[in-house]
Amino acid sequence: MKVCSGKEMKQIDETAIHKIGIPGIVLMENAVLAVVNEIKKDLQNIPKANVVIFCGQGNNGGDGLGVARHLHNCGMDVTIIFIGDPLLLKDDARTNYNIAEKLQIPKIILNKDALIDDQIATLIEKSDLIVDAIFGTGLSKPVSGIFNDLIDLINFYGKYILAIDIPSGIDSETGAIMGNAVKAHKTVTLALPKIGLYVYPGTEYVGELVIADIGIPKEVIDHAQLKMNVLREEEVNSFIPPRFPRSNKGTYGRVQVMAGSKGMTGAAALTCQGAFRSGAGLVSLGVPESITDILQEKLTEVITVAVHDEDGKFCRESFDDIKPYLKKATVIAAGPGIGQGPQVTEFMRRLIKHARIPLVIDADGINAIAKNIDMLRNLKVPVVLTPHPGEMGRLINKSTEEVLANPIDTVREFCHKWHVILVLKDAKTIIGDPDGQIYINLTGNPGMSTAGAGDVLTGIIAGLIGQGLNPYKAAVLGTFIHGKAGDLAAADLGQHGMLAGDICNYVPKAMKLYYPSS
């Protein structure tokens, strides 16, 4: 599903109004009715519920004023708290204000210099529900003064809070908290979800997210050519590579894994298992000679190929040994547990230079690239890199903090510059492609912060590419399934003790949720 910034939403809104001819008040009324619908569900067991609606002087406030009218009509006890100057209201918001005034819905007007007295606190304390319609996508500067104090007060009483479009105080494009923000239990976002609802820290203020259709034509949304996306549960099935009744192991690809070093055999094993668990037909593991026996012992289904070894690590000559096997493979997964050093870097350089099938590169494979970024020049095949923020920082000579301060732009710029697919792993993993498309992943949990989880992801993505999925879709689906497997593992075992191997073992069940015939 497409996701947008406030600016993009405004543009879409204007196209619907001015080019298509849908009156703005129709869109606002659709928004209002969607919010009212949610409120009725939330308050169904409370007769004559007490609702306080905080309204700003923009269109978000206009939505809130419309909601006040409908709830008043249903017999609820509604109070509007309007912050700002009613004379500055425009168009549709003014219309809803005038209607509320004619209906004499109880209202308190606070100008921006007003003092918040006990009356407001008492109203909040007595309420069954608070509606936050102070700011929506039009938030343009940090929240201060009376707005800041009101937000503190709204959050203080622990009442059920429903935010319209986006909790007031969150930047719709970056998810930044602009000084202070309403901590909602539910957010009803209008038309398309806003980026800031999915990105930290804003995402922690959203509560349950409801996406409300307000009648903007599909054509208008398509025309906007939005680049931000989330993969929603109902879309997953269309990404999963099919199983065919008449097929054999060759149908589902051969993944060539290059992983492991002395003391790091587990990384190689998990990568191979990740590939198999996501549905790969064959997995072959190229591994430094001295640790081959250990991996043969660990891995029953995997073919192992011993390659030249220097101090238990891959080296320049390892590539010559693996070259004949690359001809038979569909995709390469390289990097987990390979360690560091000049020989490892040289191995990675040769692998990237000569590969003629897609590559998925993780961990020390990425560190090798960071030492010699020129390896990424003139790529002839799709390359998927799966860095965590630290590895990402090394790729672009920035600190982890700098990467985390702006993860989406970081991904976008790197993908564009180097023509690669990037999976920036974090609590909300971001997946970018060279054309500027970005997915924010919504699955996963803190239990997945455990050694080896990344190796499993590398294997899953490679396994999906092996089954014929295009590498970007494989990166998006692989990240989603990896997170879902983690969620299933956590549901069964709890977050504290789950292991990377558990995540791997739940991958088949995670895929089965979206491909039930398997």
Residues that bind ligand LP7C6HRI (CB under 6 A): 9, 13, 27-28, 31, 56-63, 135-143, 147, 164-165, 190-191, 214
Segment near K ion (CB under 5 A); pick from 3-11, 163-171, 311-319, 385-393: 163-171
Is there a binding annotation on residue 478?
A: no
Is there a binding annotation on residue 140?
A: yes
One-letter-per-residue 3-state SS of 432-492? ECCCCCEEECCCCCHHHCCCCHHHHHHHHHHHHHHCCCCHHHHHHHHHHHHHHHHHHHHHH
Q: Pick between residue 88 and residue 451 the one whose CB is nearest to ligand LP7C6HRI.
A: 88
Cβ-Cβ contacts under 8 Å for 508 (sequence gap 6 or more): 277
Q: Shortest gap between Cβ of 77 and ligand LP7C6HRI (angstroms)?
A: 24
Q: Pick between residue 57 and residue 273 the one whose CB is nearest to ligand LP7C6HRI.
A: 57
Q: Pick between residue 132 and residue 364 the one whose CB is nearest to K ion.
A: 132
Burial group, residue 249, by CB count within 10 angstroms (0-12, 13-18, 19+)? exposed
Please report, in angstroms and rounded to a whole number, the separation of the first and last CA atoms in the chain.
Answer: 25
Q: Pick between residue 84 and residue 463 the one whose CB is nearest to ligand LP7C6HRI.
A: 84
Contacting K ion (CB under 5 A), which of 137, 155, 168, 450? 168
**Inter-helix orientation angle 500-514/471-493, to 10°:** 110
Is there a binding annotation on residue 337?
A: yes
Size of the site for K ion (CB under 5 A): 4
Q: Pick between residue 230 and residue 269 the one whose CB is nearest to ligand LP7C6HRI.
A: 230
Long-range contacts of 510-516 (CB under 8 A, 24+ apart): 510/481, 510/484, 510/485, 511/240, 511/278, 511/279, 511/481, 513/236, 513/484, 514/233, 514/236, 514/237, 514/240, 515/237, 515/240, 515/243
Q: Pick between residue 163 and residue 269 the one whose CB is nearest to K ion.
A: 163
Is there a binding annotation on residue 75?
A: no
Q: Does 132 bind K ion (CB under 5 A)?
A: yes
DSSP 267-296: HHHHHHHHHHHTT-SEEEEEEEGGGHHHHH
Q: Shortest gap between Cβ of 203 and ligand LP7C6HRI (angstroms)?
A: 17
- The entry of K ion, ligand LP7C6HRI, none that residue 132 binds, CB within 5 to 8 Å by partner kind: K ion
Is there a binding annotation on residue 502?
A: no
| Cβ atoms of residues 131 and 154 within 8 Å | no
Among 441, 512, 455, 451, smallest CA distance to 274 is for 455
Q: Shortest gap between Cβ of 348 and ligand LP7C6HRI (angstroms)?
A: 47
Q: Shortest gap between Cβ of 55 and ligand LP7C6HRI (angstroms)?
A: 9
Is there a binding annotation on residue 267?
A: yes
Is there a binding annotation on residue 457?
A: no
Segment near K ion (CB under 5 A); pick from 127-135, 267-275, 345-353, 460-468: 127-135
Q: Pick between residue 132 and residue 502 the one whose CB is nearest to K ion.
A: 132
Q: How many helices (H) and strands (E) does the chain have?
A: 19, 18
Q: Pick between residue 96 and residue 284 the one whose CB is nearest to ligand LP7C6HRI.
A: 96
Is there a binding annotation on residue 132?
A: yes
d(CA 308, CA 286): 10
Segment near K ion (CB under 5 A); pick from 168-176, 240-248, 438-446, 476-484: 168-176
d(CA 426, CA 270): 19
DSSP state of 16: I
Is there a binding annotation on residue 455?
A: yes
d(CA 7, CA 4): 8
Is there a binding annotation on residue 62?
A: yes
Contacting K ion (CB under 5 A), which of 163, 199, 268, 504? 163
- The entry of ligand LP7C6HRI, K ion, none that residue 339 binds, CB within 5 to 8 Å by partner kind: none
Interface with K ion (CB under 5 A) = 132, 163-164, 168
